[in-house]
Structure 1
């Protein structure tokens, strides 16, 4: 397969195209963004930050990396990779298929996609996250001589990507900004969203919360600028052995902050937990 880092970056300050010059990305207005020694670039200006260190902490990123590398979400990654590869196979002959993971974390799903891609497929990949710790972890796992993805610190609210430059956007348990996703996707491009189903991590939630909220309506709301293409449910059970694995799962979810101290303590007391994984993989086509 042919996999190259994504090139069509845009300046986060004025939206102009960025061009690689040595070890920096520069726009025509003179804004310059250095590539870190680990191989990533920070395109999140101070004025777009809501805190000094936004996004997941270093500890949360490490927990997610341990959990995902243990293979607990492998069926999810397989469903996502299959969907993207199928869509990529519909491209014009010789066309490179570009894909952004918007909220890429430490890069697990892009790495799985790269491994799943057939030899005939030419991919251009970019992983973006608002957490510098997540992007740093992703870049550290890449080959510095031949990186397979462009790793960028940035915000979904202001994607540093040129308009109509992408064939696909992934949003995995993330924070979708539909207007930005629509802007950067080509006509016919696919937005793939991964959403938690009603039974996702139910057993853990029953432990950490006094009561569970009613499930949201399963009716799909079509985002503006898109049409529904396909949906797939991925549901299975996993068993976590050891307090660390259970703590890692909790640390990589919003439940870490939503649960009370008592709820977190009940989870911390466990040394074994069987839990349901229940997600919906939804594909939207840009029209």
Structure 2
């Protein structure tokens, strides 16, 4: 496959370009960052951490990996990949960052949807080292499809104006940083939960649901709105383990009361609404 890991990394300490020397990324000031044996690099300095182990836990990552592997979010991955493909009609290498990549599901799906002739330069970044470890372990060490990086959306370790697209999947967008790393005409593809997303589960774990507020998203500075697409469908989950994995991989696990979590744990079958909004922003 015509896939190469993204190269234009920046030092998280001084913003200078990083160069890969053997198994170490190094900047002109001699700050160095070793590539782990699993194939990823940690570019999250201690001073950028809010806790000793930020981001999703090992259990959350494992639950998400099992759930996504079953294909219930495949329509979201397909819509996202098609949006990238519409922007990717060019001969040169197309560079894409998944900012908050988790265990790498959406980048792997994107790589498979794209034609063999389209050259891709991919990077997955997440603040959770467990997520990035999982993503790197699933990649082919002899021919990796992506660069896997532990880092923060608040200070992306990426050189300015080097990306054709940025993905933000149910994550925490930092639009100023996304604008900095995108080329003019580059696109931010943002997927957010719609008002009906997982409604049936939320009705079980919460005493009441807040009424949904329908409003157009604010246009981030430096961007223009290009398209929006609603992705809505139903799924049926069978078995307590699958339902537990879904709950574990979402923030709802920690927001729900003990009684709500117990009600969810007793479920053996659940039909759910998947409701996602794909928004395409263009860097101007």
Q: TM-score range by the shorter chain?
A: over 0.9
Q: RMSD of the alignment, in Å? A: 0.7
Q: CA deviation at 1:220?
A: 2.1
Picking from 211, 236, 250, the partner of 1:214 is: 211
Deviation (angstroms), 1:119: 1.9
Q: 5+ unaligned residues in a row in structure 2: which ranges?
A: none
Give distance in 1, aligned partners of 2:52 and 2:217. Answer: 36
Query: Superposed, which structure 2 residues align to 1:224-239 within 5 Å?
Result: 224-239=221-236
Any idea what the Cα deviations from partners look like across 1:187-208, whole Å, max 9, x if unmatched? 0000000010110000000000
Is 1:16 aligned to residue 16 of structure 2?
yes
Cα deviation, 1:120-178, whole Å, max 9, x if unaligned, reads: 21100000000000000000000101111000000000000000010000000000001
Secondary structure at the residue paired with 2:204?
Answer: helix
Q: Answer yes or no: is 1:73 the counterpart of 2:73.
A: yes
Equivalent position to 2:272, from 250, 253, 275 = 275
The alignment's TM-score, normalised by the length of structure 1, stands at: 0.98
| 1:244 is aligned to 2:241 | yes
Which one of 170, 174, 193 corresponds to residue 196 of structure 1? Answer: 193
Runs of 4+ in structure 1 off by over 3 angstroms are: none
Where does the alignment leave 5 or more consecutive residues of structure 1 unmatched?
none
Match of 1:185 among 175, 179, 182: 182
Deviates more, 1:213-222 or 1:234-243: 213-222
Q: Distance in 2 between matches of 1:120 and 1:282?
A: 27
The answer to whether residue 60 in structure 2 is matched with residue 60 in structure 1 is: yes
* Match runs of 1:87-236 below 5 Å: 87-89=87-89, 91=90, 93=91, 95-236=92-233
User: How many residues of Structure 1 are paired with residues of Structure 2 in the alignment?
Assistant: 284
